[in-house]
């Protein structure tokens, strides 16, 4: 009789652990799984920060994300050839909360905040940290 009690307790605690783990994983599903759909569209710069200081030199900047995962922006990104024009256009890949821009200029944007009307991106360009606060156009 003494042997059955510990076995029952072990089975009960194992069952509760599995049940609670299953509930947590569904309730805490990654928010970033919806990012590709939410981010599609044109985003206008509200404020920009360079090395944690607000800057107006980027006023008028926009980012446009298409559903086929291409990005176009007028952000002055240093590129190897000067004939690239005023727009930077490249393919991108989402990986959780990170936008990895492909092509000759490797860029990585971290999504700090994203909802239907507001987007905050962080990146490093030429060893300078940038934060872009954007609103949907």
In order along its 137 residues, the chain shows pLDDT tens digits of 455 566 555 455 555 454 544 444 444 455 778 888 899 999 999 999 999 999 999 999 999 999 899 999 999 887 655 445 678 899 999 998 999 999 878 899 999 999 999 999 999 998 999 999 999 98
Strands 62-65 and 53-55: unpaired
Picking from 115, 103, 118, the residue whose alpha carbon sits closest to that of residue 70 is: 103
pLDDT value, residue 75: 92
Single pTM value for the model: 0.74
User: What does each C-alpha distance from 39 to 7, 52, 96 come to in angstroms?
Assistant: 51, 24, 13
Terminal Cα-to-Cα distance of the chain (whole angstroms): 71
Strand (E) or helix (H) holding 91: strand 88-95
Task: Please state which architecture CATH assigns to domain 32-136.
Answer: Beta Barrel (2.40)
Domain chopping of the chain, boundaries: 32-136
In angstroms, rounded to a whole number, what is the distance separating the alpha carbons of residues 79 and 88? Answer: 9
pLDDT value, residue 83: 47
pLDDT value, residue 15: 55
């Amino acid at each position: 009789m003494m042997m059955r009690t510990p076995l029952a307790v072990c089975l009960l605690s194992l069952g509760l652990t599995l049940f609670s783990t299953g509930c947590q994983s569904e309730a805490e599903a990654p928010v970033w799984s919806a990012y590709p759909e939410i981010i599609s569209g044109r985003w206008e710069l509200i404020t920009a920060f360079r090395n944690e200081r607000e800057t107006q030199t980027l006023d008028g900047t926009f980012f446009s994300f298409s559903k086929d995962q291409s990005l176009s922006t007028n952000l002055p990104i240093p590129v190897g050839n000067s004939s690239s024009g005023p727009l930077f256009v490249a393919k991108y890949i989402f990986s959780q909360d990170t936008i990895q821009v492909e092509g000759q200029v490797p860029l990585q944007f971290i999504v700090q905040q994203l909802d239907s009307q507001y987007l905050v991106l962080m990146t490093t360009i030429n060893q300078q940290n940038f934060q872009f606060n954007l609103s949907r156009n």
